[in-house]
Chains A and B, each alone.
Chain A
Amino acid sequence: MEVYRIEDLSFSFPGQQKKALSQIDLTVSSGEFITIIGKSGCGKSTLLKQLKPILAPHGVSSGTIHYKEAPLSEIDHRTQASEIGFVLQNPDNGIVTDKVWHELAFGLESLGLDGQTIRLRVAEMASFFGIQTWFHKPVSELSGGQKQLLNLASVMAMHPSLLILDEPTSQLDPIAAMEFLETVSKINRELGVTVIMTEHRLEEVLPLTDRLIVLDDGCLIADDAPRNVGKKLHAMGHPMYLSMPAPMQIYTAIETETMMHTPLPLTVKEGRQWLQGKFRYSAETSGLHDQKDGPAVKLQQPVAAEFKDVWFKYEKNGPDIIKDLSFKVQKGQFYCLVGGNGTGKSTALSLLSGIVRPYRGKVLLEGKQPASMKVRDLFHNFLGVLPQNPQSLFVKKTVELDLYEMLSDSEETMEQKKVRMDAVSAFAELEPLLSMHPYDLSGGEQQRAALAKVLLLEPTILILDEPTKGLDSFFKEKLGLFLKKLNAEGVTIIMVSHDIEFCAKYGEECSMFFDGGIVSTNTATAFFAGNNFYTTSANRMARHLWRDAVTVESVIERCQTSL
């Protein structure tokens, strides 16, 4: 049965000539799992919101959308609310009330159901989603992953036949994201609910997807099973192809001739099987020579930041968050701290920027303790911190004013300021965005604007906390290149991240954080080659052949030389 029939849909925002969506034709059948991908700002969210008129933004639209045979515009608010579930991107913004149980009941209260029915549905949903253990908790005590699950559960309590999700995992860490996607898949499989979602984590979501739709600049350019879409994008040479799973990218780079006729591998498992078949005889027994290039590459450089046997806890009788942490970051290094949630990575950054002090041991930035330095000395021409949420830096109406604001207390002349401003906005490619409101920028653009603000203080050490959170692969790559460029100019970069792929690609030295300390440190390649599970998907796919092939590029290179 058709759920949606979209014919020739175009949409443009008020006062804008450019169409946000143009001539979309799409049908959605009941029970399908559809994933929509595309660069940030390609119209994914706009399309999703068109599917639920109460959320549709103002603007000029043409074409028709039919929902279950009737024009969507004729569907009343009540039907829309109960049948079309919508989960937003930011888990915090979706939650309205203060208690978990109340949030679950919120939609049902709106529908005017009686107490007994609500009680039953809430109980059902809490059991289905495993919420029983935190059912009575206040929302503020939940983790990000739990919050997003709660959003999903409170929508599902209304028994929708269709679920629309707008980048639901972009604010979650990889483990919580995986769990969330599994739950969505379970809803689709076991309850038969149609799912339409936009997502950046293609590695995880593609194996679950029935149909993959690619949007580019408001146009629908591909609509097929994920493997076929992969072929199509590859044939088009489309940049979105770079965000496809690593096994697929490696496969198409090697099997250039036969790829059009064979199914592309989607998962690490499939990629591994293919590699095994292909390189059975030519595989070298590697994994030995990668031990030799330890961290001792740049030892002659002076130390930029150092932790000496640092211990830290937040409360006197509380648990130790940082336990006997010691490491050194050399000048000009690109240093990555990876590790799971709650291992103390962010606390290590707080120690580094002098927000908190250790109760034992020393934190040194070029030999000085940040917590006892004067703020002016610490943050001017020395230490730069890019916060996780770039919005917490913006003050002014436009990006340009915001950047000037950073220079407001310097004694430079207007011309000097202008020169610096121009330089930094050219560096961060902000020129076309200077007259916009910072909140109107996309996530990646906001990040760059915030980075530009921090760079105006001319830091020599730059600290980043989860800079890739919520960015799509295109913006990630851009950010990576910026950081590389800064690094080449001599800025020391210390980054905390969950994003293994990003660290493997751009990081120089990586450390694994666990239980308040560092478990292992090595150069990026050797580090990931040494891990068995905590490594990139390209490496997991190829590590039985080439242990130190960590990135997609290096696996492709190895394949080519071994052929």
Chain B
Amino acid sequence: MRRNAFTTFHPIVNFVYFTFVLVFSMAFMHPLFQAISLAGAIGYSILLNGRKAVKFNLLYMLPLLLVMAAFNPIFNHAGVTILFYLPNGNPFTRESILYGIAAACMYVTVIVWFSCFNKVITSDKLMYLFGKIMPAISLILAMTLRFVPRYRHQLSVISQAQRSIGRDLSQGNLIERARNGLRILSILTTWAMENAIETADSMKARGYGLPKRTSFSIYRFERRDQLTLSIMIGLVAIVLTGAALEENTIRYFPSVVMKEYSLFSFVVYGAYFIFCTLPVMFQIVEEVKWKYIVSKI
């Protein structure tokens, strides 16, 4: 994975950010807000995944957007501005085209944000966040993540051993193969149970089961996490105020209605822009600083 400034923040900061950005992207259908969020998402996904993200966005997201935008007016006939009538007699309206575009845009934005979420919130961070809520679940997750590769490895060991006595999955006719497969699974199960007893011993030996277990993490909530979190909360507060004053809302049917622009609405737009492009900005700032430091040496 490429190094990215935003991923180095505390998981809570990452998580809060993604929660709000996803909720906002789903809730605000205002075209400007959608554009801002989509730009932020695409920008960040490219920073995170590089060429792969460009490919993903062009190859899958763009067609998805176009298809969804085109399909809405074919099936949705609400709206007052009728452009023409479809062959089956239904009206084709401007509002439904706009709504189609908006809905498709929202959908794509959320998917792209989720692709960023997947990169940033790694299993470690997810486990930490879970652990904050339910420590037991977080331990189970950690143990599962330990056992899955282990079992997979053992499965290949067993399968190789069985192969060397002529009883592998790749040998014999269909029934024999099925039987061999089951046999390998049964060996794995016996093995897993036998060894789980020792693992349980190792847990007991290290005091598992004592009351008041704590959950340790390597993440530290640093001052910059505090600062970033407060900035984020400030921006969110502005955006939410805007939402309460209906700056971010839009009505599509029967006719498109948006609130008139005012000074405050630009404040809200600005706040939302900063919020959506935060990860990208962090990266740019860090890179500029780095270049500056290097150039000084």
Residues of A within 8 A of B (CB): 52, 54-55, 77-78, 80-82, 85-86, 88, 90, 92-99, 101-102, 105-115, 118-119, 122, 136, 138-140, 151, 154-155, 158, 353, 355, 375-376, 378-380, 383-385, 387, 389, 391-395, 406, 439, 453-454, 457
Contact = CB atoms under 8 A, between A and B. Distances in A.
A109 B191 contact: no
Nearest to A158: B206
B223 to A, nearest CB: 16
Contact of A140 (B142, B150, B171, B205): B150
B191 A54 contact: no
B216 A118 contact: yes
Contact of A355 (B150, B163, B210): B163
B260 interface: no
16 contacts: A81-B210, A95-B199, A96-B143, A96-B199, A97-B142, A99-B142, A101-B218, A112-B214, A355-B163, A379-B166, A387-B161, A389-B161, A392-B160, A439-B190, A439-B194, A457-B165
B202 A94 contact: yes
Interface in B99-123: none
B207 A110 contact: yes
Given A108-B216, A110-B207, 18 more contacts: A77-B207, A77-B209, A88-B202, A92-B195, A95-B199, A98-B142, A111-B207, A112-B213, A115-B216, A136-B218, A140-B150, A155-B205, A158-B207, A379-B166, A387-B161, A392-B162, A395-B187, A453-B165
A380 B143 contact: no
Contacts of B191: 391-392
A92 B212 CA distance: 27
B204 A54 contact: yes
A289 to B, nearest CB: 42
Q: Is the interface of A mostly helix, strand, loop or mixed?
A: helix
A93 B202 contact: yes
B88 interface: no
Contacts of A393: 161-162, 165, 187
CB-CB nearest 10 A-B residue pairs: A81-B207, A385-B164, A107-B206, A110-B207, A93-B198, A98-B145, A387-B161, A392-B161, A140-B149, A112-B212
B166 A94 contact: no
A97 B146 contact: yes
A394 B190 contact: yes
A387 B163 CA distance: 10
B207 A387 contact: no
A140 B164 CA distance: 25
A375 to B, nearest CB: 5
Contacts of A96: 142-143, 146, 199, 202-203
Given A81-B207, A115-B217, A380 B194 contact: no
Contact of A81 (B143, B149, B187, B205): B205
B8 interface: no
